[in-house]
Protein backbone atom coordinates (compact mmCIF):
# COMPACT_ATOMS: atom_id res chain seq x y z
CA UNK A 1 0.00 0.00 0.00
CA UNK A 2 1.42 3.38 -0.97
CA UNK A 3 -0.07 6.72 0.04
CA UNK A 4 -0.45 8.96 -2.97
CA UNK A 5 1.06 12.42 -2.67
CA UNK A 6 0.29 14.93 -5.41
CA UNK A 7 3.13 16.63 -7.24
CA UNK A 8 2.26 19.91 -5.58
CA UNK A 9 0.92 20.39 -2.05
CA UNK A 10 -2.64 21.68 -2.30
CA UNK A 11 -3.96 21.36 1.23
CA UNK A 12 -2.49 20.78 4.69
CA UNK A 13 -5.42 18.44 5.38
CA UNK A 14 -4.54 16.30 2.36
CA UNK A 15 -0.87 16.16 3.31
CA UNK A 16 -1.75 15.37 6.92
CA UNK A 17 -4.03 12.53 5.83
CA UNK A 18 -1.17 11.09 3.77
CA UNK A 19 1.18 11.31 6.75
CA UNK A 20 -1.31 9.64 9.09
CA UNK A 21 -1.95 6.84 6.59
CA UNK A 22 1.78 6.28 6.14
CA UNK A 23 2.16 5.72 9.89
CA UNK A 24 -1.04 3.85 10.77
CA UNK A 25 -1.56 1.85 7.57
CA UNK A 26 1.96 1.36 6.20
CA UNK A 27 4.08 1.39 9.36
CA UNK A 28 6.38 4.17 8.14
CA UNK A 29 7.76 6.48 10.81
CA UNK A 30 6.51 10.05 10.85
CA UNK A 31 10.11 11.29 10.66
CA UNK A 32 10.72 9.36 7.44
CA UNK A 33 7.35 10.36 5.99
CA UNK A 34 8.01 14.03 6.66
CA UNK A 35 11.49 13.78 5.15
CA UNK A 36 10.03 12.23 2.01
CA UNK A 37 7.36 14.92 1.85
CA UNK A 38 9.87 17.75 2.19
CA UNK A 39 12.19 16.19 -0.37
CA UNK A 40 9.38 15.84 -2.91
CA UNK A 41 8.49 19.53 -2.53
CA UNK A 42 11.94 21.00 -1.95
CA UNK A 43 11.76 23.37 -4.94
CA UNK A 44 8.36 24.86 -4.23
CA UNK A 45 7.31 28.14 -2.65
CA UNK A 46 7.11 29.51 0.86
CA UNK A 47 3.39 28.76 0.74
CA UNK A 48 4.22 25.10 0.24
CA UNK A 49 6.50 25.20 3.29
CA UNK A 50 3.68 26.66 5.35
CA UNK A 51 1.31 23.95 4.10
CA UNK A 52 3.80 21.25 5.07
CA UNK A 53 4.30 22.80 8.51
CA UNK A 54 0.53 22.95 9.04
CA UNK A 55 0.19 19.33 7.88
CA UNK A 56 2.91 18.28 10.30
CA UNK A 57 1.05 19.91 13.20
CA UNK A 58 -2.19 18.17 12.20
CA UNK A 59 -0.47 14.78 11.85
CA UNK A 60 1.25 15.12 15.22
CA UNK A 61 -2.08 16.00 16.81
CA UNK A 62 -3.83 13.01 15.27
CA UNK A 63 -1.09 10.60 16.38
CA UNK A 64 -1.01 11.94 19.93
CA UNK A 65 -4.74 11.27 20.17
CA UNK A 66 -4.98 8.27 17.85
CA UNK A 67 -6.41 5.97 20.54
CA UNK A 68 -9.33 8.32 21.12
CA UNK A 69 -9.84 9.19 17.45
CA UNK A 70 -9.75 5.58 16.23
CA UNK A 71 -12.25 4.69 18.94
CA UNK A 72 -14.59 7.39 17.59
CA UNK A 73 -14.09 6.20 14.03
CA UNK A 74 -14.84 2.58 14.89
CA UNK A 75 -18.06 3.58 16.66
CA UNK A 76 -19.15 5.80 13.79
CA UNK A 77 -18.48 3.37 10.94
CA UNK A 78 -18.83 -0.13 12.47
CA UNK A 79 -17.37 -1.70 9.34
CA UNK A 80 -14.03 -1.67 7.52
CA UNK A 81 -13.44 1.45 5.46
CA UNK A 82 -13.44 1.13 1.69
CA UNK A 83 -10.97 2.27 0.58
CA UNK A 84 -8.85 1.99 3.72
CA UNK A 85 -7.03 5.24 2.81
CA UNK A 86 -10.10 7.17 3.96
CA UNK A 87 -8.74 6.48 7.47
CA UNK A 88 -6.33 9.42 7.32
CA UNK A 89 -8.93 11.86 6.02
CA UNK A 90 -11.50 10.90 8.64
CA UNK A 91 -9.02 10.94 11.53
CA UNK A 92 -7.81 14.40 10.54
CA UNK A 93 -11.39 15.63 10.32
CA UNK A 94 -12.32 14.07 13.66
CA UNK A 95 -9.24 15.60 15.26
CA UNK A 96 -10.20 19.05 14.01
CA UNK A 97 -13.73 18.65 15.36
CA UNK A 98 -12.72 17.06 18.66
CA UNK A 99 -9.97 19.59 19.41
CA UNK A 100 -12.05 22.47 17.98
CA UNK A 101 -9.13 23.63 15.87
CA UNK A 102 -11.40 25.44 13.42
CA UNK A 103 -15.12 26.18 13.03
CA UNK A 104 -17.02 22.91 12.74
CA UNK A 105 -18.55 23.76 9.37
CA UNK A 106 -15.09 24.48 7.93
CA UNK A 107 -13.59 21.27 9.33
CA UNK A 108 -16.41 19.17 7.86
CA UNK A 109 -16.61 20.92 4.51
CA UNK A 110 -12.87 20.98 3.91
CA UNK A 111 -12.38 17.34 4.97
CA UNK A 112 -15.19 16.24 2.65
CA UNK A 113 -13.83 18.34 -0.20
CA UNK A 114 -10.27 17.06 0.15
CA UNK A 115 -11.32 13.41 0.42
CA UNK A 116 -13.71 13.76 -2.53
CA UNK A 117 -10.96 14.98 -4.84
CA UNK A 118 -9.46 11.51 -4.71
CA UNK A 119 -12.58 9.48 -3.89
CA UNK A 120 -15.64 11.26 -5.35
CA UNK A 121 -17.90 8.33 -4.46
CA UNK A 122 -17.05 8.77 -0.76
CA UNK A 123 -18.28 12.36 -0.44
CA UNK A 124 -21.59 11.49 1.21
CA UNK A 125 -20.00 8.86 3.45
CA UNK A 126 -17.28 11.18 4.80
CA UNK A 127 -19.85 13.92 5.37
CA UNK A 128 -22.14 11.51 7.22
CA UNK A 129 -19.37 10.25 9.53
CA UNK A 130 -18.33 13.75 10.56
CA UNK A 131 -21.90 15.00 10.97
CA UNK A 132 -22.73 11.96 13.09
CA UNK A 133 -19.75 12.72 15.30
CA UNK A 134 -21.13 16.19 15.92
CA UNK A 135 -24.54 14.75 16.83
CA UNK A 136 -23.17 11.88 18.98
CA UNK A 137 -20.19 13.67 20.48
CA UNK A 138 -21.40 13.72 24.08
CA UNK A 139 -22.22 10.00 24.06
CA UNK A 140 -18.92 9.10 22.37
CA UNK A 141 -16.84 11.14 24.80
CA UNK A 142 -18.52 9.41 27.75
CA UNK A 143 -17.87 6.01 26.17
CA UNK A 144 -14.13 6.81 26.00
CA UNK A 145 -13.98 6.47 29.80
CA UNK A 146 -14.60 2.73 29.48
CA UNK A 147 -11.85 2.11 26.91
CA UNK A 148 -8.28 2.43 28.30
CA UNK A 149 -6.61 2.79 24.91
CA UNK A 150 -9.00 5.59 23.94
CA UNK A 151 -8.85 7.23 27.37
CA UNK A 152 -5.05 7.33 27.67
CA UNK A 153 -4.08 7.34 23.97
CA UNK A 154 -1.62 4.49 24.41
CA UNK A 155 -1.76 0.86 23.24
CA UNK A 156 -3.09 -1.50 25.90
CA UNK A 157 0.17 -3.49 26.09
CA UNK A 158 2.08 -0.26 26.75
CA UNK A 159 -0.34 0.79 29.49
CA UNK A 160 -0.14 -2.61 31.21
CA UNK A 161 3.65 -2.47 31.29
CA UNK A 162 3.76 1.08 32.66
CA UNK A 163 1.17 0.23 35.30
CA UNK A 164 3.18 -2.80 36.43
CA UNK A 165 6.55 -1.03 36.48
CA UNK A 166 5.45 2.39 37.75
CA UNK A 167 2.36 1.70 39.90
CA UNK A 168 2.52 5.11 41.60
CA UNK A 169 3.68 7.19 38.62
CA UNK A 170 2.16 5.68 35.49
CA UNK A 171 -0.65 8.24 35.16
CA UNK A 172 1.82 11.10 35.49
CA UNK A 173 4.09 9.46 32.91
CA UNK A 174 1.29 8.93 30.40
CA UNK A 175 0.00 12.44 30.96
CA UNK A 176 3.42 13.96 30.29
CA UNK A 177 3.99 11.80 27.22
CA UNK A 178 0.73 13.05 25.72
CA UNK A 179 1.74 16.72 26.00
CA UNK A 180 3.57 18.91 23.51
CA UNK A 181 7.31 18.65 24.27
CA UNK A 182 9.26 21.67 25.45
CA UNK A 183 11.94 23.18 23.23
CA UNK A 184 15.18 22.88 25.17
CA UNK A 185 18.52 24.29 24.12
CA UNK A 186 22.08 23.35 25.00
CA UNK A 187 24.45 26.31 25.01
CA UNK A 188 27.85 25.59 23.46
CA UNK A 189 30.03 26.58 26.41
CA UNK A 190 33.13 26.48 24.19
CA UNK A 191 31.82 29.52 22.34
CA UNK A 192 29.79 31.47 24.90
CA UNK A 193 28.45 31.39 28.43
CA UNK A 194 24.86 30.55 29.25
CA UNK A 195 24.42 34.01 30.76
CA UNK A 196 25.65 35.72 27.59
CA UNK A 197 23.45 33.56 25.37
CA UNK A 198 20.43 34.26 27.58
CA UNK A 199 21.17 37.97 27.18
CA UNK A 200 20.94 37.45 23.41
CA UNK A 201 17.57 35.74 23.85
CA UNK A 202 16.37 38.68 25.92
CA UNK A 203 17.55 41.15 23.27
CA UNK A 204 15.67 39.11 20.66
CA UNK A 205 12.56 39.13 22.88
CA UNK A 206 12.56 35.35 23.14
CA UNK A 207 11.20 34.22 26.49
CA UNK A 208 12.99 31.45 28.37
CA UNK A 209 13.64 29.94 31.77
CA UNK A 210 16.41 27.83 33.30
CA UNK A 211 15.78 24.30 34.60
CA UNK A 212 16.27 23.53 38.28
CA UNK A 213 18.13 20.25 37.79
CA UNK A 214 20.75 20.66 35.08
CA UNK A 215 24.03 18.80 35.71
CA UNK A 216 25.65 20.29 32.62
CA UNK A 217 24.62 23.86 33.51
CA UNK A 218 24.08 24.53 29.78
CA UNK A 219 20.32 24.09 29.30
CA UNK A 220 17.77 26.78 28.47
CA UNK A 221 14.03 26.10 28.10
CA UNK A 222 12.09 28.29 25.67
CA UNK A 223 8.63 29.38 26.76
CA UNK A 224 7.37 28.95 23.18
CA UNK A 225 9.08 26.79 20.53
CA UNK A 226 10.44 28.69 17.53
CA UNK A 227 12.23 27.71 14.30
CA UNK A 228 15.94 27.19 14.87
CA UNK A 229 16.63 29.83 12.21
CA UNK A 230 15.27 32.41 14.67
CA UNK A 231 17.66 31.40 17.46
CA UNK A 232 20.52 33.86 17.99
CA UNK A 233 23.78 32.31 16.85
CA UNK A 234 22.34 28.94 15.84
CA UNK A 235 24.06 28.88 12.44
CA UNK A 236 27.30 29.96 14.14
CA UNK A 237 27.13 27.03 16.55
CA UNK A 238 26.32 28.88 19.77
CA UNK A 239 23.49 26.53 20.63
CA UNK A 240 21.87 23.17 19.85
CA UNK A 241 18.41 21.76 20.42
CA UNK A 242 18.61 18.84 22.87
CA UNK A 243 16.26 17.56 25.56
CA UNK A 244 17.36 18.13 29.15
CA UNK A 245 17.38 14.39 29.89
CA UNK A 246 19.76 13.79 26.99
CA UNK A 247 22.03 16.53 28.35
CA UNK A 248 22.68 14.41 31.44
CA UNK A 249 24.82 11.98 29.42
CA UNK A 250 28.01 14.03 29.01
CA UNK A 251 28.34 14.92 32.73
CA UNK A 252 27.56 11.32 33.68
CA UNK A 253 30.37 9.91 31.53
CA UNK A 254 32.93 11.69 33.75
CA UNK A 255 35.27 12.74 30.94
CA UNK A 256 38.57 14.63 31.11
CA UNK A 257 40.72 16.22 28.42
CA UNK A 258 42.82 13.80 26.40
CA UNK A 259 40.69 10.73 27.10
CA UNK A 260 40.07 8.18 24.38
CA UNK A 261 36.26 7.95 24.05
CA UNK A 262 33.97 5.73 21.98
CA UNK A 263 30.49 7.00 21.11
CA UNK A 264 29.10 3.70 19.94
CA UNK A 265 25.72 4.72 18.44
CA UNK A 266 26.43 8.36 17.69
CA UNK A 267 23.82 9.63 15.20
CA UNK A 268 22.50 12.28 15.02
CA UNK A 269 25.41 13.57 17.10
CA UNK A 270 23.85 15.54 19.94
CA UNK A 271 25.70 13.67 22.67
CA UNK A 272 28.91 13.57 20.60
CA UNK A 273 28.84 17.33 20.31
CA UNK A 274 28.13 17.78 24.01
CA UNK A 275 31.10 15.58 24.94
CA UNK A 276 33.44 17.68 22.81
CA UNK A 277 31.99 20.91 24.17
CA UNK A 278 32.97 19.65 27.64
CA UNK A 279 36.54 18.48 26.93
CA UNK A 280 39.12 18.05 24.17
CA UNK A 281 38.92 14.30 23.52
CA UNK A 282 40.12 11.58 21.22
CA UNK A 283 36.67 10.52 19.98
CA UNK A 284 35.61 7.70 17.72
CA UNK A 285 31.95 8.15 16.75
CA UNK A 286 30.31 5.09 15.22
CA UNK A 287 26.95 4.57 13.61
CA UNK A 288 25.72 1.73 11.44
CA UNK A 289 23.87 4.17 9.13
CA UNK A 290 26.21 6.16 6.90
CA UNK A 291 23.48 8.68 6.02
CA UNK A 292 22.78 9.40 9.69
CA UNK A 293 26.52 9.65 10.32
CA UNK A 294 26.66 12.55 7.88
CA UNK A 295 24.34 14.42 10.23
CA UNK A 296 26.87 13.90 13.01
CA UNK A 297 29.58 15.58 10.95
CA UNK A 298 27.25 18.42 9.95
CA UNK A 299 26.35 19.05 13.59
CA UNK A 300 29.99 18.96 14.71
CA UNK A 301 30.99 21.35 11.92
CA UNK A 302 28.22 23.80 12.79
CA UNK A 303 29.33 23.76 16.43
CA UNK A 304 32.94 24.44 15.44
CA UNK A 305 34.15 21.17 16.97
CA UNK A 306 35.86 19.45 14.03
CA UNK A 307 39.04 21.55 14.28
CA UNK A 308 39.45 21.67 18.06
CA UNK A 309 43.06 21.98 19.25
CA UNK A 310 44.22 18.87 21.14
CA UNK A 311 41.14 16.94 20.02
CA UNK A 312 40.96 14.07 17.56
CA UNK A 313 37.61 13.20 15.99
CA UNK A 314 36.95 10.20 13.79
CA UNK A 315 33.59 9.23 12.33
CA UNK A 316 33.06 5.70 11.06
CA UNK A 317 30.06 3.88 9.60
CA UNK A 318 30.22 0.48 11.30
CA UNK A 319 28.33 -1.98 13.48
CA UNK A 320 29.41 -1.28 17.04
CA UNK A 321 28.61 -4.88 17.89
CA UNK A 322 31.32 -6.17 15.52
CA UNK A 323 34.51 -4.52 16.79
CA UNK A 324 36.74 -6.98 14.92
CA UNK A 325 35.83 -5.00 11.78
CA UNK A 326 36.87 -1.56 13.10
CA UNK A 327 38.69 -1.63 16.46
CA UNK A 328 42.45 -0.91 16.48
CA UNK A 329 42.88 -2.85 19.78
CA UNK A 330 43.69 0.30 21.73
CA UNK A 331 41.36 0.33 24.78
CA UNK A 332 39.04 3.22 25.54
CA UNK A 333 38.93 5.30 28.72
CA UNK A 334 35.22 5.89 28.28
CA UNK A 335 32.44 4.32 26.21
CA UNK A 336 29.02 5.84 25.62
CA UNK A 337 26.49 3.21 24.55
CA UNK A 338 23.30 5.06 23.67
CA UNK A 339 21.55 1.82 22.83
CA UNK A 340 18.72 1.34 20.33
CA UNK A 341 15.45 0.96 22.23
CA UNK A 342 11.69 1.35 22.04
CA UNK A 343 12.10 5.12 22.63
CA UNK A 344 9.19 4.85 25.05
CA UNK A 345 10.45 7.84 27.02
CA UNK A 346 10.37 10.28 24.11
CA UNK A 347 7.01 9.59 22.45
CA UNK A 348 5.76 13.12 23.02
CA UNK A 349 8.37 14.06 20.41
CA UNK A 350 7.64 10.98 18.27
CA UNK A 351 3.96 10.09 18.89
CA UNK A 352 3.98 7.66 15.99
CA UNK A 353 6.18 5.41 18.14
CA UNK A 354 3.20 4.52 20.32
CA UNK A 355 1.44 2.93 17.36
CA UNK A 356 4.43 1.57 15.41
CA UNK A 357 6.03 -0.40 18.26
CA UNK A 358 4.70 -3.84 19.19
CA UNK A 359 5.07 -5.77 22.43
CA UNK A 360 7.14 -8.38 20.60
CA UNK A 361 9.67 -5.69 19.56
CA UNK A 362 10.89 -5.59 23.16
CA UNK A 363 12.75 -8.89 23.01
CA UNK A 364 14.45 -8.05 19.73
CA UNK A 365 15.67 -4.74 21.13
CA UNK A 366 16.75 -6.30 24.43
CA UNK A 367 18.77 -8.88 22.47
CA UNK A 368 20.44 -6.08 20.49
CA UNK A 369 21.25 -4.14 23.67
CA UNK A 370 22.81 -7.25 25.22
CA UNK A 371 24.83 -7.93 22.05
CA UNK A 372 26.26 -4.40 22.10
CA UNK A 373 27.09 -4.51 25.81
CA UNK A 374 28.94 -7.82 25.42
CA UNK A 375 30.83 -6.67 22.33
CA UNK A 376 31.96 -3.33 23.74
CA UNK A 377 32.88 -4.26 27.32
CA UNK A 378 36.22 -5.87 26.31
CA UNK A 379 37.19 -2.60 24.58
CA UNK A 380 37.16 -0.67 27.88
CA UNK A 381 40.41 -0.41 29.83
CA UNK A 382 40.61 -1.41 33.49
CA UNK A 383 39.43 1.53 35.56
CA UNK A 384 37.46 2.84 32.59
CA UNK A 385 33.77 3.65 32.57
CA UNK A 386 30.90 2.79 30.25
CA UNK A 387 27.66 4.77 30.28
CA UNK A 388 24.71 2.67 29.17
CA UNK A 389 21.85 4.92 28.09
CA UNK A 390 18.39 4.52 26.61
CA UNK A 391 15.47 6.85 26.00
CA UNK A 392 13.16 4.07 27.23
CA UNK A 393 11.10 3.65 30.39
CA UNK A 394 10.72 -0.13 30.12
CA UNK A 395 12.81 -2.08 32.62
CA UNK A 396 13.46 -4.94 30.18
CA UNK A 397 15.68 -2.45 28.35
CA UNK A 398 17.00 -0.76 31.48
CA UNK A 399 17.48 -2.15 34.99
CA UNK A 400 16.79 -5.75 33.95
CA UNK A 401 19.34 -5.44 31.15
CA UNK A 402 21.98 -4.04 33.49
CA UNK A 403 21.26 -6.56 36.25
CA UNK A 404 21.76 -9.41 33.79
CA UNK A 405 24.98 -7.83 32.52
CA UNK A 406 26.38 -7.46 36.04
CA UNK A 407 25.55 -11.09 36.77
CA UNK A 408 27.66 -12.12 33.76
CA UNK A 409 30.65 -9.85 34.49
CA UNK A 410 32.49 -9.97 37.79
CA UNK A 411 34.71 -7.09 36.66
CA UNK A 412 31.77 -4.68 36.34
CA UNK A 413 30.03 -2.67 39.00
CA UNK A 414 27.57 0.19 39.14
CA UNK A 415 29.20 3.48 40.07
CA UNK A 416 27.22 6.12 41.97
CA UNK A 417 27.03 9.57 40.42
CA UNK A 418 27.33 12.88 42.24
CA UNK A 419 26.33 16.01 40.36
CA UNK A 420 27.26 19.48 41.54
CA UNK A 421 26.63 22.83 39.95
CA UNK A 422 29.53 24.50 38.15
CA UNK A 423 29.89 26.93 41.03
CA UNK A 424 30.27 23.99 43.46
CA UNK A 425 27.82 25.86 45.67
CA UNK A 426 25.16 23.21 45.86
CA UNK A 427 24.70 19.49 45.39
CA UNK A 428 21.81 19.28 42.96
CA UNK A 429 21.54 15.52 42.49
CA UNK A 430 23.01 12.51 44.24
CA UNK A 431 21.78 9.21 42.87
CA UNK A 432 22.83 5.61 42.87
CA UNK A 433 22.76 4.24 39.38
CA UNK A 434 20.91 2.80 37.50
CA UNK A 435 18.82 5.95 37.19
CA UNK A 436 15.49 6.28 35.45
CA UNK A 437 14.50 9.85 34.60
CA UNK A 438 10.70 9.93 34.57
CA UNK A 439 9.21 12.40 32.06
CA UNK A 440 8.47 15.82 33.54
CA UNK A 441 7.55 19.20 32.14
CA UNK A 442 11.27 19.84 31.64
CA UNK A 443 12.56 16.54 30.28
CA UNK A 444 11.75 13.34 28.45
CA UNK A 445 12.18 9.86 29.91
CA UNK A 446 15.71 8.41 29.99
CA UNK A 447 17.71 5.70 31.70
CA UNK A 448 21.40 5.77 32.62
CA UNK A 449 23.77 3.28 34.21
CA UNK A 450 27.46 4.07 34.69
CA UNK A 451 29.54 0.90 34.77
CA UNK A 452 33.06 0.86 36.22
CA UNK A 453 35.50 -1.79 34.99
CA UNK A 454 37.49 -3.03 37.97
Q: Which residues are catalytic?
A: 391
**How many other β-carbons are positioned within 10 Å of the β-carbon of residue 140?**
19
Give the angle 367-373-377 at the CA atoms, nearest 5°: 155
Cα→Cα distances 398→156, 234, 245, Å: 21, 34, 15
**All residues at 6 or more sequence positions from 156 whose CB lies less than 8 Å from its CB, including other chains:** 148, 149
Q: How far apart are CA 101 and CA 90, in angstroms?
A: 15
417-420 and 427-431 as β-strands: parallel, antiparallel, unpaired? antiparallel
Contact 81, 90 (CB under 8 A): yes
Contact 213, 178 (CB under 8 A): no
Contact 71, 150 (CB under 8 A): yes
Burial 220-258 (b: 16+ CB within 10 A, else e): bbbeeeeeeeebbbbeebbbbebbbbbbbbbbbbebeee
Beta strands in 274-426 (DSSP E): 282-287, 312-317, 332-338, 380-390, 412-414, 417-420
Amino acid sequence: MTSHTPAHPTSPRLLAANLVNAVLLEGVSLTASLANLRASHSTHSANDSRDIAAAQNLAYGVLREAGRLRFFLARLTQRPLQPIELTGHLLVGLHELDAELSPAYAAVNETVSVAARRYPFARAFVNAVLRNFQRQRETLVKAVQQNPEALWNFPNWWLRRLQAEYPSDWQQIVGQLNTHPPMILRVNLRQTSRADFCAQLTNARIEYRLPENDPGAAAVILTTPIPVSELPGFAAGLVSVQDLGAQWAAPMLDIHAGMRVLDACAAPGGKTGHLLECAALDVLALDSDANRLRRVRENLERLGLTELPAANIRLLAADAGKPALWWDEMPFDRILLDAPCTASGVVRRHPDGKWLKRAEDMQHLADEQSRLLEALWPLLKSGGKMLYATCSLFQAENSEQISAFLARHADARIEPVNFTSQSKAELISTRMMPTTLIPTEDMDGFFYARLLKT
